[in-house]
Structure 1
Amino acid sequence: MRNWLRIVMLALFALLAAGCDRQGRPVEEFGLDKLEKGISSESDVRMVMGKPETVWEEEDGTRALQYPKGPEGVRTWEFVIDKSGLLKDYRQLLTQDTFARIKPGMTRDEVRRLLGKPRTVVQYKLKNEEAWDWRYQVGTEPRFFNVHFDITSGRVTGTSSQDARNY
């Protein structure tokens, strides 16, 4: 019985360790532990993450590769590649801090650049409104962040958020 308990405990430990990075933090995206800022190349990022959904070319020669994990995923990753082709930084875009940067009057392109590809786009013609949404997570709770645009001007009129479990 004791050997059986040891086997179960070792298996449980291995299972928990598999979901953590080298520092023991939970893994947010498998493969990120293979990438190192300042060392990994754009090719390394593409090998780990695949083909990006969007590539933004910046004036200073840097490139931002975006990887939305939707429609049911709760993350959109952005990897910044410096002008020499090395990974400068990466981050999760669907956060409260990024959502707070969305302001009335912004264009669709500005919102798309900040949040990545939306999960859905729906038009409400009688209201002259277009709504984009992104699925994200607060703790363990799934939520939707919505950006509302005026159809005619293409400008943000407001934002909202809702519990994804009651959708």
Structure 2
Amino acid sequence: MALAAVFAVVAITACDQQNIVELEEGVSTEADVRERFGAPEAVWDGADGDQIYEYNRQPEGYQNYQITIGADGKMSALRQVLNPDNFARVEVGMPMETVRKMLGKPMKITTYELKGETHYDWRYHDGPNTSDSKIFTVVFDRDYHAVSTGSVPDPALLRGQ
């Protein structure tokens, strides 16, 4: 079972890389993006009439892509958003919706009723090797405002899965 999951992640990653290579900022259209990546997980309104398409690879993968389609219908940006630079932008007091738009759909959401907390977890690579896999967590209070963040090694790697 674990081996099948590894093959699925490798296949998704390889397909994503091929699709990314085939797209060009300022040239590729919304139709080109949808042809290669399919329907987005979510669509966010951006600045100046832009739309931001979310392509989530959680929980099995380690990426969340955001592709910006300009008002002219052309792709203006393609970013993998699960990285330490974006994590550093998460601030105490930030609303959950803002974090969600910044990082994409988390791999797991856990609510701790007695503590009045909800944890959003994202799996990511913090380096070129699979041994650099980590979990980034944002802790939200009852009103869904960020109270803390942190990263730990991916427990799946510690269990050898």
TM-score range, shorter chain: 0.7 to 0.9
Secondary structure at the aligned position of 1:134 is classed as strand
Q: In structure 2, what is the Cα distance between the partners aligned to 1:74 and 1:52? A: 17
- Tell me how large the CA RMSD over aligned residues is: 1.6
Which consecutive residues of structure 2, in runs of 5 or more, have no partner in the other structure? 1-13
Secondary structure at the aligned position of 1:55 is classed as strand
After TM superposition, the score normalised by the length of structure 2 is 0.83
Q: In structure 1, what is the Cα distance between the partners aligned to 2:145 and 2:123? A: 21
Q: In structure 2, what is the Cα distance between the partners aligned to 1:59 and 1:40? A: 19
Identity of aligned residues (%): 36
Matched, 1:98 2:98: no
Deviations 1:1-52 (A, max 9, x none): xxxxxxxxxxxxxxxxxxxxxxxxx996221111111110011001111111
Matched, 1:157 2:156: no
Secondary structure at the aligned position of 1:111 is classed as helix
Shift of 1:121: 0.5
Runs of 4+ in 1 over 3 A off after TM superposition: none
Which amino acid is the alignment partner of residue 157 of structure 1? Answer: V
Q: Please identify the structure whose Cα radius of gyration is greater.
A: 1
Secondary structure at the aligned position of 1:162 is classed as strand
Greater share of helix residues, 1 or 2?
Answer: 2
Matched, 1:147 2:135: no
Q: In structure 1, what is the Cα distance between the partners aligned to 2:122 and 2:105? A: 8
Which amino acid is the alignment partner of residue 102 of structure 1? Answer: V
Which consecutive residues of structure 1, in runs of 5 or more, have no partner in the other structure? 1-25
For these two proteins, the number of residue pairs brought into alignment is: 141
| Bigger relative CO (Cα 8 Å, ≥ 6 apart) | 2
Q: In structure 2, what is the Cα distance between the partners aligned to 1:79 and 1:59? A: 13
Correspondent of 2:102 among 111, 114, 122: 114
Match of 1:166 in 2: 158
